[in-house]
Amino acid sequence: MFKKYSLRYYNFRLAAAILATMLFGLLLVNSAKPSYTMKEAIGITGCFAVMIIISFIDYNWILKYFWLIYIVNIALLGAVLVFGHNGKGATRWIKIADGITLQPSEFTKLFLIL
C-alpha cells in the first residue's frame, strides 16, 4: 500500500511551496476576518498532514481498488440526498458536527480524475 522509498527522494521543494501557499492564504484570511484565522490554521494543519500521508501511498494500489473508491463516492453522493444539509438554498453538504460540514462533490472531482 505504501511506497518503499527513502525520504531522500521526497520532493521537499514541492511540499515547501505548498506550505508557503497555505500560509500566505492564512495571512489573507487573517487580514480579511481575524476570527476565522484559528479555524483556517486547523484546516491547513490537517490538510498538510493528509497530503504527506497520501504522498506515500502507491498509485498502483489506488488503481487496483478504484471500484471501491467509486462505490464509496456514489454512496457519499447518495447520502447528500438523505442526510443533506441546506445551506444558502442548496442541499450539497452533509453536516458532521456543529460547524463541520462535508461536501462530497469535491471528492467526486478528485475521484473522476483517477
Name the residue ranges covered by the structural domains of the chain. Answer: 1-58, 65-114
What is the pLDDT at residue 102? 83
The pLDDT, as a whole number, for residue 65 is: 85
Distance CA 111, CA 95 (A): 21
Q: Quick check: helix, strand or coil at residue 70? A: helix
Is the pTM higher than 0.85? The answer reads no
pLDDT of residue 22: 95
- Along the chain (114 residues), what's the average pLDDT of each consecutive run of 10 residues? 70 92 96 94 93 83 86 91 78 81 86 78
Q: What are φ and ψ of residue 33, in 5° steps?
A: -150, 95
Q: What is the pLDDT at residue 96?
A: 83
DSSP 8-state class, residue 45: H
Tell me how far apart the alpha carbons of residues 96 and 91 are, in angstroms, rounded to a whole number.
Answer: 14
> Position of cell 484565522?
37
